[in-house]
Structure 1
């Protein structure tokens, strides 16, 4: 099929997160303002400066048979659970080809991870050192590959139009969804399963993030530790899980009578070219991504009523993002309800864009913006630049078409902004 610049819609959603084992329970937790952050109870945590994290609410082995789970890194387990939920939610009953509504040659998969199979790599290295060469699992390489989650999702649904794995640190999940939108727009595929996953709650990543002063050390108050925009914020809380959406051309969705959650309007991408870790303090790169989105789509700034912000709870990053929103949207920023859902889920790194896309789509579908919790004393710069939804969820306008953005940024200066609109 030739390039057509087709309309893309969201027809399925799936998630497994610190708030719930599926999209519905995750959404319920977000709207209720519930935190998924807990003390780490593993023996190794006692020696860490950071002893809190946000693990998934439901262990993957409660869903995936143990023989299959043993051949998958934890990140791939999360991706498979979320993808299978999204696939069924979109109305498909079997993999492509077996379900005659799906042509496998017109189906793609794009699942990202910022770090990949780090737990498999480190655990198997421990096996090598402690038990010897012969005890290393023969499944190690297929498990630790960064493309393992995407490959396994592609196998599960029967995707043959292309299976891809963008790796752009904490922007990876959003970049995967943006890439999937373009696959459909360009005519490469009719349907793409897309999202992000991460499983990095392990002593080495936690020690490394802790030593670079990126993570909160508020061990005495785990549920209050992730506090975007609060003057006392001191870093992010590491979370784990996955979020996946089924994207489809509007024509294909209409032909099979699919339910549509929202239109996927498009993406804006840029790079800071400033620092490997620190964001550009004035948000210039973020502003460029936002402007790129407006230039490449028919999105009207007056339509945008909600932003699911990247807002990790770091002193510099939170404010840079809001400055960018104000710079690009000016007075229109006054009517945008900004939610920072990492205050509840923690930061899922490469999985963040996937989970937060699910949250953004559901915010439009239900016309409700989730709250940002733990903002006891809002930073004056945040208050001056944005309308942060605090304390309780807020209703969005019920009349007319409205749009929402999902912002994702990553180490290396990667900036990705996704836009969605009510169907």
Structure 2
């Protein structure tokens, strides 16, 4: 029997705060993380302005990096390394207490991490000449830079993998990490997801209004940025060393059925439930990625309704966080693990008149009073 992959460390930075605790408390209080944001990177004319979910820089520095190295890191690399070390500590690891470095892997998911740096390197190489391009800029302009820097920060010497699949990037990274643990490729895996705001995303966000997850009047969502890192390891090994297990990865499945999101997602729901050995009626909560998009929210509503019916509450945090691109799925996992621990779920910000087939939102209950079913998802 293959090992069960468990999440033993969680850390994140979101528009609502630089930790899981801060983000969770803000969601419970019904706050949102949207502020006016201005950005320019020299690649595009003018300045992009939009309401967006921007991060506050309230994270600690990375002990493994000197001041010069920190200045050279891209924003994605800096965020992932800072958040990653907090997740490492949350898992109970640190100096003198860590798994075999060669048995420690890093898997990162991102929709566009490193792209701005890459374009800047190309621009400078073409306009100034390659001899004037900073030697520090090239490595940070690669899509795998953030994963590589996280491995250095944690001392991980196992495989380093970067995957990209839009808003599903974090979910894909978690699947790869779970496979690493189940097949014995790694004892522990740092699973990361990150995407940050840039002028292109802000320009697109100018067309978005107030986020209305599953709302009948939804018209798009402001962009958001986030960095999330989980530590995944063999559940039995984790419990043997006395680690706290936040959650177990019981079942995963990829979309199937082509471009029609509504028909593609429902079989994936069913396959994940079957792998976990869980019936739809066992679920007490579904954490959704709905952020107010006119098309994907509808597809997700139909898929959830078809898979679990209308009796399971559905929560989306993205009415408060915005569209966090490749960090979306790992945010869902981290917040669902917290819902497991606290036995409650926050309200869905921006909730209005719902799509007809949308399942109900979770009730607003006091912490610890929500009755849980046999399994949570």
After TM superposition, the score normalised by the length of structure 1 is: 0.80
Which structure is higher in strand share?
Answer: 1
Deviation of 1:299 after TM superposition, in Å, equals: 2.3
Deviation of 1:394 after TM superposition, in Å, equals: 7.8
After superposition, residues 296-307 of structure 1 pair within 5 angstroms as 296-307=275-286
Instruction: Report the Cα distance in structure 2 between the residues aligned to 1:49 and 1:243, rounded to whole angstroms.
Output: 26
* Aligned-partner SS, 2:314: strand
Give 2:214's match in structure 1, choosing from 211, 229, 251. Answer: 229
Q: Which residue of 2 aligns with 1:6?
A: 3
Post-superposition Cα deviations, 1:402-422, rounded to whole Å, max 9, x if no partner, equal: 311xxxxxxxxxxxxxxxxxx
Q: Which residue of 2 aligns with 1:69?
A: 70
User: Judging changes above 3 Å, is the alpha-carbon distance between structure 1 residues 48 and 66 closer, same or farther for their aligned structure 2 residues?
Assistant: same
Post-superposition Cα deviations, 1:126-181, rounded to whole Å, max 9, x if no partner, equal: 65577664442212231121111111222222223322111111100111112111
Give 1:266's match in structure 2, choosing from 220, 245, 251. Answer: 251
Instruction: Report the Cα distance in structure 2 between the residues aligned to 1:301 and 1:108, rounded to whole angstroms.
Output: 33
Q: Which residue of 1 aligns with 2:267?
A: 288
After superposition, residues 37-186 of structure 1 pair within 5 angstroms as 37-42=34-39, 51-58=50-57, 63-64=61-62, 66-94=67-95, 98-99=96-97, 101-125=98-122, 127=124, 133-186=130-183
Give yes or no for contact 2:224–2:322 (8 Å, CA) kept in 1: yes
Give yes or no for contact 1:112–1:147 (8 Å, CA) kept in 2: no
User: Judging changes above 3 Å, is the alpha-carbon distance between structure 1 residues 294 and 43 closer, same or farther for their aligned structure 2 residues?
Assistant: closer
Post-superposition Cα deviations, 1:309-347, rounded to whole Å, max 9, x if no partner, equal: 0102111211211111121223xx41x221111111111
| Structure 1 residue 379 corresponds to structure 2 residue 351 | no
Give 2:200's match in structure 1, choosing from 199, 204, 207. Answer: 204
Instruction: Report the Cα distance in structure 2 between the residues aligned to 1:379 and 1:232, rounded to whole angstroms.
Output: 8
Post-superposition Cα deviations, 1:77-111, rounded to whole Å, max 9, x if no partner, equal: 111122111100111122xxx43x41223222111
Deviation of 1:183 after TM superposition, in Å, equals: 1.3
Instruction: Report the Cα distance in structure 2 between the residues aligned to 1:263 and 1:87, rounded to whole angstroms.
Output: 17
Give yes or no for contact 2:226–2:327 (8 Å, CA) kept in 1: yes
For the aligned residue pairs, the C-alpha RMSD in angstroms reads 2.7
After superposition, residues 271-420 of structure 1 pair within 5 angstroms as 271-274=256-259, 280=260, 283-330=262-309, 333-334=310-311, 336-375=312-351, 377-381=352-356, 384-389=357-362, 397-398=370-371, 401-404=374-377
User: Judging changes above 3 Å, is the alpha-carbon distance between structure 1 residues 42 and 193 closer, same or farther for their aligned structure 2 residues?
Assistant: closer
Instruction: Report the Cα distance in structure 2 between the residues aligned to 1:230 and 1:391, rounded to whole angstroms.
Output: 18
The count of aligned residue pairs is 372
Unaligned runs of 5+ in 2: none
User: Judging changes above 3 Å, is the alpha-carbon distance between structure 1 residues 378 and 250 closer, same or farther for their aligned structure 2 residues?
Assistant: same
Give yes or no for contact 1:233–1:313 (8 Å, CA) kept in 2: yes
Instruction: Report the Cα distance in structure 2 between the residues aligned to 1:50 and 1:395, rounded to whole angstroms.
Output: 41
Deviation of 1:49 after TM superposition, in Å, equals: 8.0
Give yes or no for contact 1:190–1:249 (8 Å, CA) kept in 2: yes
Deviation of 1:27 after TM superposition, in Å, equals: 1.6
Deviation of 1:357 after TM superposition, in Å, equals: 1.4
Instruction: Report the Cα distance in structure 1 between the residues aligned to 2:37 and 2:295, rounded to whole angstroms.
Output: 27
After TM superposition, the score normalised by the length of structure 2 is: 0.89
User: Judging changes above 3 Å, is the alpha-carbon distance between structure 1 residues 380 and 297 closer, same or farther for their aligned structure 2 residues?
Assistant: closer
Give yes or no for contact 2:220–2:294 (8 Å, CA) kept in 1: yes
Q: Which residue of 2 aligns with 1:418?
A: none
Give yes or no for contact 1:194–1:244 (8 Å, CA) kept in 2: yes
Instruction: Report the Cα distance in structure 2 between the residues aligned to 1:174 and 1:396, rounded to whole angstroms.
Output: 29
